[in-house]
Chains A and B, each alone.
Chain A
Amino acid sequence: MKRYLPLIILAILAVLPVIGLSTYMMHILILVIMWSVIGMSWNLLGGYCGQVSFGHAAYFGVGAYTAGVLYSKFDLSPWWGLPLCVVVVALFSLVLGFIVLRLRGPFFALATLASGEVMRITAENWVDFTGGTMGILIQRRTWVEKTWYFYIILIIAALTFFMIKKLVESKLGYYFVAIREDQDAAESLGINTTLYKTIALCISGVITGIAGAFYTNYMGYIDPHVVFALHDISIITIMIVMVGGVATFWGPYVGALIMVLLAEYIRSIPGLGAAHQTFFGILLIVIIIFLPNGIVGDFQKLKRLVGLRRASG
């Protein structure tokens, strides 16, 4: 049963548009799936390989701008951005990895954070190429309905899920975990840590980039403040994985579901909408102190906590 669970969930999701959900519901679903793709990619690098990145907005934005620039400068369909950004983001990750992978732990985290900011400032100032703060507007979106967008992101998510599952269960995945647990020990056992960290960074970056290219197609408008946002992209990515569960298969999905619904819910409360980052911040602090491995990772602990409350109440 457990083996077929991903397939069952995939099948259920695939028939959802047929039963006729409202456009708003479809929008939420698409966002949840898109964020879980980004969460999965972060989880590969951060959760399994132990390299906590604060700059996934850099890859997301580069992917988004690959699609956007193809449209605005070369007059091609922005859908070409999806295959092309694999190459662009892989090259970008290689260059970035050369610099940031020299660092460890918190320093790596901060260097990636800086890389995201550099990309934002570059996109803002390089007006000839990116359109600066004006952003890029896709004049005609491919479809008005959301059904096809939903299926495309669902296929991307399914492929990502199976690829990461295969990867983590392969020899490569064990190398990643070894690097996370003790980089020096891994090195002394003959694992080329630099190589494998670069591989993890490239795969993670490319998947995030594809999600970014999809975002351009789906939203039809990008600007540097949206796609290279520190809090709204990089930190939310981390929160999704932290809330859901670090180094678990299902964590990013649970996290994305909770975060997207929570964000929508808080925004809908009048007077509190502007405070959503306060709630996110408090949620992050609470999760780190009480459930450091996330909801999926600390599920037993969570069950015990809830059980205790029930017993005492």
Chain B
Amino acid sequence: MTSVQIEVFLQTLIAGLLLGGLYALIGLGMTLIMGVMKIINLAHGELMMVAMYIAYWMFVLFHIDPYLSIFIATPILFLIGIALQKFLINPVLKVESILPENQVILTVGIGMVLANLATLFFKSDYRSTPVDYATNAFYLSDFWKTSPIELSLSVPWTVSFVFAVIITISLWFFLAKTDTGKSIRATAQDTDAALLMGVNVKLMRVVTFGIGAGLVGAAGCLFLPIYYLFPSLGGQFTLIAFVITILGGLGSTIGAIIGGLILGVFESMTATYVGMGWAPVGRFVIFVVCLIFLPGGVASILKRKRLGK
């Protein structure tokens, strides 16, 4: 390998890891909802789109930085999530029907309405990021004058990644240390047992959907400085979240983080070495390979390791 090839490889790896950190945040929300409610939220990407538009208009109208909008968009998305769960999804859980997948189809309907309303209100124009530091970058040669290779690190990508890590760590503390977090994990493990132990399962479901929506809302704010914004962007992120959920193992939080990183790296590798347009196909190749050879996802490997000790 020549130094140029090494440079390209390392650069791709860094881009992949940064992307993966953000993907993990999207995947986490879906995994949480999946674990507690046993349904897949197919409106996940559309909720992210809503958060991105909130952050966008906050910046355009009030000049609030997208990174500060996290504190505005996340609570709003939390409330939207709670409302969706309480008024739309919960009633369907009780309805008798032939197909048990009704809730999943319902979330498709919610996603359709959200995406179409966004198209109506904001037009289907692609909007590029409004912030002015979008193209700034750190260069390796600025820090290490005699370095044999040159690497760059985009400022917004790095900041978004750091924020994603902070949010993920605080989520972990919330799930592991607080009472509410423990109740959520108990509900995910065994609903009936949790109910017998005095956990308010109904409330936990509502809260979890809210947290899942809030997480993806935060991810939306982090994606705004580095990505385009258009009304139909939700669908692809729903798929990404789902691939991460499968890759990480259903309902596993650590699995989702690792799955997000793997997916990010793999995707940027395909983009560099196969072609830009094929990056989404790479996503599904890894998904199919995972289904055939590792149906339990990363979580099953982790579990095996723990049992082996």
Contacts and interface: CB of A to CB of B under 8 A. Distances in A.
Indicate, yes or no, whether A interacts with B: yes
Interface of A: 46-47, 50, 52, 54, 99, 102-103, 105-107, 109-111, 113-115, 117-118, 121-122, 124-125, 180, 230-231, 235, 238, 242, 246-247, 274-278, 280-282, 284-285, 288-289, 292-293, 297
Contacts of A113: 239
B228 interface: no
A235 B287 contact: no
B119 A274 contact: yes
A125 B277 CA distance: 7
Given A102-B291, A118-B284, A285-B88, A292 B277 contact: no
A121 to B, nearest CB: 5
Contacts of A52: 99, 101, 104-105
Interface residues of B, number: 45
A308 B20 CA distance: 55
Contacts of B239: 110, 113-114, 117
Contact of B110 (A103, A107, A285): A285
Interface stretch (B52-60, B90-98, B136-144, B170-178): B90-98
A235 B110 CA distance: 12
A47 B243 CA distance: 26
Nearest to A241: B99
Given A52-B99, A114-B284, A121-B280, 20 more contacts: A47-B99, A99-B292, A110-B239, A114-B239, A118-B280, A118-B281, A121-B281, A125-B281, A247-B98, A278-B112, A280-B112, A281-B112, A282-B109, A284-B109, A285-B88, A285-B110, A288-B106, A288-B109, A292-B95, A297-B98
B103 to A, nearest CB: 8
A204 B198 CA distance: 47
B112 A114 contact: no
B294 to A, nearest CB: 12
A285 B115 CA distance: 15
Contacts of B284: 114-115, 117-118
A129 to B, nearest CB: 15
Contacts of B112: 231, 235, 277-278, 280-281, 284
Nearest to B243: A114
Interface string B96-124: 11111110111011111101110110000
B288 interface: yes
A124 B277 CA distance: 9
Nearest to A278: B116
A105 B115 CA distance: 25
B109 A293 contact: no
Contact of A278 (B101, B117, B235, B242): B117
A122 B283 CA distance: 13
Contacts of A230: 235
Contacts of A284: 105-106, 108-109, 112
A180 B99 CA distance: 8
Interface in B43-93: 88, 91-92
Contact of A277 (B100, B102, B115, B250): B115
A50 B117 CA distance: 32
Contacts of B109: 280-282, 284-285, 288
Given A103-B291, A109-B40, A281 B120 contact: no
Contacts of B292: 99, 102
Interface string B265-309: 000000000010110110010011001100100000000000000
A107 B101 CA distance: 10
Nearest to B104: A106
B257 interface: no
Contacts of B155: none
Contacts of B213: none
Contacts of B96: 292
B281 A122 contact: yes
Contact of B99 (A246, A281, A289): A246
Contacts of A121: 277-278, 280-281
A293 B97 contact: yes
A109 B115 contact: no
A122 to B, nearest CB: 7
B10 to A, nearest CB: 27
B98 A289 contact: no
Interface string B200-227: 0000000000000000000000000000
Nearest to A287: B109
Given A102-B291, A288-B105, A125 B278 contact: yes
B237 to A, nearest CB: 12
B39 interface: yes
For A106, A125, A230, A242, the residue with the greatest tally of chain B CB atoms inside 10 Å of its CB is A106
Nearest to B88: A285
B246 interface: yes
B228 to A, nearest CB: 18
Nearest to A246: B98
A134 B58 CA distance: 39
Given A102-B295, A118-B281, A288-B105, A47 B98 contact: yes
A105 B101 contact: yes
For B39, B246, B280, B292, the residue with the greatest tally of chain A CB atoms inside 10 Å of its CB is B280
A297 B95 CA distance: 14
Contacts of A282: 109, 113
Contacts of A281: 109-113, 116
A107 B247 CA distance: 12
A114 B100 CA distance: 20
A72 B111 CA distance: 37
Contacts of B295: 102
A288 to B, nearest CB: 5
A44 to B, nearest CB: 14
